[in-house]
Structure 1
Amino acid sequence: MTEFMNQDFLLTTETARKLYHEVAADLPIIDYHSHLQQGEIAARKTFRNIAELWLAGDHYKWRLMRTAGVAEEFITGERSDQEKFRAFCKVLPLAIGNPIHHWSHLELRRIFNIDLLINEANADAIWEQANARLATMDTWSLLEQAGVEIACTTDDPADDLLQHAQIASSALKTRVLPAYRPDKAMRINQPRFIDYLQRLGQVSSVSVTSFASLIAALAVRVEFFHSRGARISDHAVDVTLPVAGATPAQLEALFAKRLQGTLLTDEENGLYLRGLLEAIGRVYANYGWTMCLHIGAQRNNNDRMRAKLGPDTGYDSISDMGTSAGLASLLNALDQDDRLPKTMLFCLNPNMNEVLSTMVGNFQDGTVAGKLQFGPAWWFNDHKEGNLQQLVGFGNHSVLGVFVGMVTDSRSFASYPRHDYFRRLVCRQIGEWVHGGEYPNDFEALATIVRGICYDNARKYFQL
């Protein structure tokens, strides 16, 4: 029987072990999509205890605790931090097969050098030891200890990025770069959409009174973000994209309708989103940016709990919406005049893995290795089987050696051991192919692939 999470955890062959320990383990981290708060980095935030670091705002853990029968008062309620931590430790042993069980133990070992099992009996000892260590740490030391070379935050086009400027001029070794996420411009039916247009207009010096002026204002902000180091945009595609795009006149009519106070229908919303992505995609191409499309989330499903706790509190799931025809049409429209930017397709529905991993092959043009990428296992797919399926799908349908690797997609400064988890799985899968006689046991070639996936490719691809 193998020891729990020993040094060769997840590494099933000698090739995998050699690749991990000699190549992958100590590579720097490029986290090109996270939800870290730049203000917490700029201020060198400290954490009062491990509960704040681990549980505050972490909807992954909140979902686990609710499912295990923990009352909301021990999750987002008024119970003390230590009571919440004890409640988490009590139920974590039930989560066999859940990556949070592995991640939490990796975090405990790598961040705090604590090798205890996380359970009810050890909760108080972990609390004391972790808090003693945490008292000497802040957001900077967490990033630097994890070996994070570059971390990209998620920023609204109207943000002034002043905190990014503070970080850039500081002594922090990690480069913290903004990433451009225009959700508020995309979600045309949101109650504060028109208020947002006014704010966007103010910061861009463009009066946003039409669809064309909206794109002009967003383009001004792309230029501003580019000057501050941004090279990546991020878009949540949560509605079905139409196969036929709207004409400029139709887009202006839809925009005018919303300015007059009328919400768009679902069909009209899809047309608007398609038009916005097509227009802003051309802007990204001008700057050499990468457009990331996160596809397949069904968000905020529980109305009762949303009214109580707000959005993004752990009530999201996978959508089964149709995507391929509209997505192909969008990419084709951009490609027609050679204005398709580098694009990553993140897939939340594993049933769409082959759809998206084959879609990227339709628009490769040889200008950039892996110009279009099937993105890493994301959110509900970010577990052992999900990562292995993504790697196999990428390998089956594309060129795995150009893959740019994983992201944390996390708000937590403790999440970086997930990169260790991913790297072990990369080495595991490659080792299995070699062990099965499906690839030569050429260590130099294998090491080049592993270094590329874990570090080199992202730096080149995103021009960081």
Structure 2
Amino acid sequence: MAQELTLHDDRLFPPDAAVRAIAQRIYAETRNLPIISPHGHVPPVWIADDQSFDNPTRLLLTPDHYINRLLHANGVDLSTLGVPVSRTDMTAEDNRNAWRTFCKHWPVYNGTAMRYWMTDQLVGVFGVTQRPSEETADEIYDTFQGWIDNHRPRALMDQFNISFIATTDDPADDLAHHDKIAADAEFSARHRVAPTFRPDKYLEPARADWNELVDRLSEVSGEDTSTLAGYTAAMEKRRAYFKSKGAISTDHSHADLLSEYLDAATAERLYGKARRGEINAEEATALRRHLMMDQVRMATEDGLTLTLHPAVLRDHDPQTAAEYGSDVGCDIPYALEVTRAMRPMLNAFGNHPNLKLVIFTLDEDTFSREIAPLAGFYRSLYIGVPWWFIDAPESIMRFKQSVTEMAGFSRISGMIDDTRAFCSIPARHDMMRRCDAAHLANLVAVHRLDEDEAIEQAIKLVVDNPKKVFNL
């Protein structure tokens, strides 16, 4: 007999009955608030065309590198799961077999954040009550398929109560999908979908395709990018275009946090070398840091919030990257230095009245040691909620305890779900609200906050903080 899969209403709450009761009361005030998702990776075409999710594998497995990476570690080929997402050769039986493989390996997710999100989706979204296994795989798949046939992204925006969601977009994108969404006045009145300017690969002169990218930037902006001044004008023009289409932020991921201006002559010389394909690795890093510093300067002028998430070694396994492409689960974190690296940027712009910087990273140790103290002083700096490897409940609680003791709650960005797995969005935001309630309940229990203050703070973390930090 299949074991039942359940969602306990007190999940993630403190085990002590008295403290749990406080958490229940706090959570009751936030659980039904609309979702604000200012940083994510849902493709805008899904919403623009109200695309069908097709089948359970394409919805829940293929695009979710959190799920796939652990299956890969346990001997499953990524191709079995339909990776990469651009594949079109998966048959109906291939997709069903991929789901059977996932269900067979369900125990490998015990104790992980992935099991938490998936259980929340299975029960809370799809109404599945059987625990995944070889025996239940087909029945669950058929239940999902029936659900998919009757649910599309726009209706789910209502069901999930998503009031705002940001996508991630290339600077050269024409944003036609966003235009199509905005043209639907009835939908847009309930849900705002905004693009995000993601220029980091255009700031990396060491990339083999950098000159091709800069040529494309010239084409879409109408600026001559043969000079650094033309490149700068092209960037400013594209940022303005994104802002005119509703963008609220720019998104950046580089090897480190150091951004520093070169003198004008050196910057122009290195830019010229990069355009000729003559730049070396050390020079490319120096130019990238200069270009990144100028993105911060632009943010002080156009008011777009700037998010930074460094310290990821992308495509750690070159063989996997060559076979399947990027973003398939083999990006790995490394240690990060923040205090010295951020000093030039913060000395120049850290207290600028028109700048909001949000830092989030995979190096958990830096939050209490460096990021929280910095955000506790510099007016423009905010702490991004942990993402990816450390967006598990245990890490979220460590994050809350470590940053609030130094910087309080006012310097936190609000929830950043950082996901392209559409149906996991409500699960992730609900997890954060439960963790907020648990953390605040403990502060009430030890008489560091009154309960009315805790409730007010919980609401601010869900609503006020992201609206302030992302200028909503």
Q: Is 1:392 aligned with 2:401?
A: yes
Letter in 1 for 2:313: Q
Whether the 8 Å contact between 2:12 and 2:393 is mirrored in structure 1 is no
Q: Deviations over 1:124-143 (max 9, x none)?
A: 22111121111111121222
Provide Cα deviations, 1:71-112, integer angstroms capped at 9, x if missing partner. 344224667111111111111223221100010010112221
Say if 1:322 and 1:270 are closer, same or farther in 2 by CA, change over 3 A: farther
Contact 2:383–2:411 at 8 Å: present in 1 too?
no
Instruction: Kindly indicate whether residue 462 of structure 2 is the aligned counterpart of residue 448 of structure 1.
Output: no
Among 195, 203, 209, the alignment partner of 2:226 is 209
Q: Which residue of 1 aligns with 2:363?
A: 349
2:206 touches 2:285 (CA, 8 Å); kept in 1? no
Gapped regions of structure 2 (runs ≥ 5): 15-19, 84-89
Alpha-carbon separation, structure 2, partners of 1:129 and 1:87? 17
Q: Which range is displaced more, 299-308 or 323-332?
A: 323-332
Q: Which residue of 1 aligns with 2:295?
A: 280
Once the 2 structures are TM-superposed, how far is the Cα of residue 411 of structure 1 from its aligned partner?
A: 1.2
Note the alpha carbon deviations across 1:380-412, whole angstroms, 9 max, x for none: 111011111211122111121453311221112
Contact 1:403 1:452 in 2 (8 A): no
1:425 aligns with 2:435: yes
Q: So what's the TM-score if we normalise by structure 2?
A: 0.91
Q: 1:259 aligns with which of 272, 275, 278?
A: 275
> Which position in structure 2 is the counterpart of 1:460?
468
Partner of 2:21: 14
Per the TM alignment, residue 296 of structure 1 is displaced from its structure 2 partner at its CA by 1.4
Q: Distance in 2 between matches of 1:121 and 1:454?
A: 40
**By how many angstroms is 1:183 displaced?**
2.0
**Cα-to-partner distance string for 1:260-313 (whole Å, 9 max, x where unaligned):** 112431x32332222112212121111222110012111111111111111221
- Which residue of structure 1 lines up, in the alignment, with residue 38 of structure 2? 32
Quote how far apart the aligned CAs of 1:121 are.
2.7
The residue aligned with 2:17 is none
Letter of the 1:449 partner, please give it.
Q
CA contact (8 A) 1:65 1:75 kept: no
- Specify the code of the residue in structure 1 equivalent to 2:442: E
Q: Which of the numbers 126, 129, 132 marks the counterpart of 2:143?
A: 129
| Contact 2:297 2:349 (C-alpha < 8 Å) held by counterparts | yes
**Candidates 214, 219, 223, aligned match of 1:197:** 214
CA distance in structure 1 between the aligned counterparts of 2:6 and 2:125, rounded to whole angstroms? 18
Structure 1: runs of 5+ lacking an equivalent: 365-370
Of 162, 182, 204, which residue of structure 2 is paired with 1:187?
204
Amino acid at match of 1:311: S
Indicate the larger mover: 101-110 or 321-330.
321-330
CA distance in 2, matches of 1:386, 1:139: 30
**Contact 1:239/1:270 (<8 A) preserved:** no
Once the two structures are superposed, the pairs formed by residues 232-243 of structure 1 within 5 Å of their partners are: 232-239=249-256, 241=258
1:241-278: per-residue Cα shift (whole Å, max 9, x none)?
26x6421211111111111112431x323322221122
Change (3 A) 1:154 1:414: same
Q: Alignment identity in percent?
A: 27
Find the partner of 2:94 among 75, 80, 99: 80
| Letter of the structure 1 residue corresponding to residue 438 of structure 2 | R
| Structure 2 residue identity aligned to 1:450 | A
The equivalent of 1:373 in structure 2 is: 382
Question: How many residues align structurally?
Answer: 450
Q: Identify which of 416, 419, 422 aligns with 1:410.
A: 419
Which of 73, 87, 109 in structure 2 is aligned with 1:95? 109
1:226-375 equivalences in 2 (<5 Å) = 226-239=243-256, 241=258, 245-265=261-281, 267-335=282-350, 338=352, 341-354=355-368, 355-364=370-379, 371-375=380-384
| Inter-CA distance 459–90: structure 2 relative to 1 (3 Å threshold) | same
Describe the SS at the equivalent of 1:295: coil
Instruction: Give the secondary-structure state (helix, strand or coil) at the position aligned to 2:250.
Output: strand
The structural deviation recorded for 1:321 is 4.1
Aligned counterpart, 2:130: 116
SS in 1 for 2:382: strand
Q: 1:295 to 1:350 in 2, by over 3 A?
A: same
Report how far residue 335 of structure 1 moved: 4.1
Q: Whole-Å Cα distance in 1 between the matches of residues 246 and 77 of structure 2? A: 43
Q: Deviations over 1:201-245 (max 9, x none)?
A: 122121111222212111111111111111111100224626x64
Displacement of 1:340: 6.6
Q: Secondary structure at the match of 1:408?
A: coil
Q: Within the alignment, does 1:107 sit opposite 2:117 as a pair?
A: no
Instruction: State how far apart, in whole Å, the 1-side matches of 2:249 and 2:311 are.
Output: 20
Change (3 A) 1:6 1:75: same
Aligned ranges 1:138-149 → 2 under 5 Å: 138-149=152-163
TM-score, normalization by structure 1: 0.92
Structure 1's 50 and 217: CA in aligned 2 closer, same or farther, altered over 3 A? same
Post-superposition offset of 1:344: 0.4
* Structural RMSD (CA): 1.9
Q: Is the Cα contact below 8 Å between 1:401 and 1:449 reproduced in 2? A: no
Distance 1:280 1:41, change over 3 A: same
| Cα 1:362–1:460 shift into 2, 3 Å | closer
